[in-house]
Amino acid sequence: MRTKLLIADDHPLIVEGIRRALEDVPDVEIVGETTKGTQVLPLISRLQPDLVLLDVRMPEMDGLACLDLIRRRHPEVRVVVLSANTDRNQIEAALRRGACAYLVKGVNPLDLPSALRQAVDGTVFHVLGLPPEGEGAGELSMLTRRELEMLKALGRGLSNQAIGKELWISEQTVKFHLRNIYRKLGVNNRIEAARLAYEHGLVERTA
């Protein structure tokens, strides 16, 4: 089943970049796009998207005001906020107002389809693409909530089969997530990933 996506961003180049990043993704269908905040609600009513990718800085009505109206009038529609702003107060404001995820512009386009899928599934990690606050802080910031769960399980020494049973997913899905985890963390295998899990306190060392 394809996820119907509405893109709302005031910059045509960003819209085009998103379209190119998603054009070969079989389970995402872009049903509409707009550059004005006042057009978002009418388009949702007409096109009935499953997901809205919403910029914060929009002409005529800003993204957070749009978000408030979407949550009130279309609570079934999920909203992912897209912004160049990495201010923690704005991120927290967007999440408090009902955004299911916050993507920072400049995020790797390869991560966009996965982030949108997990936003629809309700398993997305809240912020993707946020620069690290301190040394080592950014290594885990690119992982989704499901990937963090998987990294913890991996750090506990579970096999792919055991991870799949614990998280109620197939071994093939486990392998898919692990490849993404390795790529995002810049590691080559599960041993190196487990080491990072220990270093960041995700898993307690046993005596």
Write out pLDDT tens, residues 152-188. 888 888 899 999 898 888 888 888 888 888 877 877 7
12, 97: one domain: yes
207 occurs within a structural domain: no
Residues 112 and 189 in one domain: no
205 belongs to a structural domain: no
Q: How many domains does the chain have?
A: 2
Beta-bridge partner residues of 78: 51
Dihedral angle computed from the Cα positions of residues 193, 113, 95 and 131, in that order, rounded to the nearest 10 degrees:
50
Structural domain including 79 reads: 3-131
In this prediction the pTM is: 0.64
Give, as one character, the DSSP assignment of residue 30. E
d(CA 32, CA 49): 9
Judged against a pLDDT cut of 60, whether residue 44 lies above it is answered with yes
- 206 falls within a domain: no
Kindly indicate the confidence band of residue 207, based on its pLDDT and cuts at 50, 70 and 90: very low
Candidate from 27-41, 63-77, 85-99 with smallest mean pLDDT? 85-99
Residue 204 lies in a domain: no
42 within a domain of the structure (yes/no): yes
Give 67's pLDDT tier (boundaries 50, 70, 90).
Answer: very high
pLDDT of residue 34: 93
Is the Cα dihedral 31, 48, 67, 149 positive or negative? negative
Has residue 36 got a pLDDT over 80? yes
